[in-house]
Amino acid sequence: MTIITVEKRLLALPTTAISDATGGHTNVASSIKPLADHFKIAGRALTVRLPDGENGAVLEAISKASKGDILVIDCKSNTNRAVAGDFVMQLAQGVGVQGFVVDGVIRDLAAAREIDFPVFALGTTVAAGNKHGGGAVGVPVSVGGVVVEQGDYIIGDIDGVIVVPQRQIEAVIEAAEAKVAKDEVREQEALHNGEASIRAYLAKVVK
């Protein structure tokens, strides 16, 4: 018997359907974008909180990460210094980290795309982060206006990033799967016969 994991079910869903299932209340700010259009992630959050300009705690998080974790990094939208470059991304990828969601910036964008390591961030910078200390791993953080707890589920694709509290994940997945199925029926009804079916659909829904 094949067991389909939560992560696989989430990866099969567009973020738009998951957003509909959550009522849009945990959508991360649209300014945090995938740094390549094909990047897609779905997994549990390993949270990191950083002081301004620092990135040392990112290495600590990588050392504690389990395979499939997504580092969710709160640096309060600081865009002056990168939280990671290509070397740190390769370290993360090498221990099975699935990707980063950063309320800040990275550097070495070309390398991130070359190694195909998913990063969702505010953008890039040329400036390296400092390692003077501070920061915390596994604590509640705020990223893109949404509070993220350790172990919450993170889903990201070209349309954006969503946080789903772990206690709600099964209900959200079921609602999102139902939404996708409903949309497929609607599209078949409205689009199967060109203009004629489109006009018939519009006549039914437009009051």
pLDDT along the chain (207 residues), means of 10: 80 96 96 96 97 92 97 96 96 98 96 95 94 92 97 98 97 96 93 92 89
* Fold annotation for 6-165: Glucose Oxidase; domain 1 (3.50.30)
Per-residue pLDDT, 3:
59
DSSP 8-state secondary structure symbol assigned to residue 70? E
Per-residue pLDDT, 2:
52
Beta bridge partners of 123: 105
Whether the full predicted model's pTM is greater than 0.85, yes or no, is yes
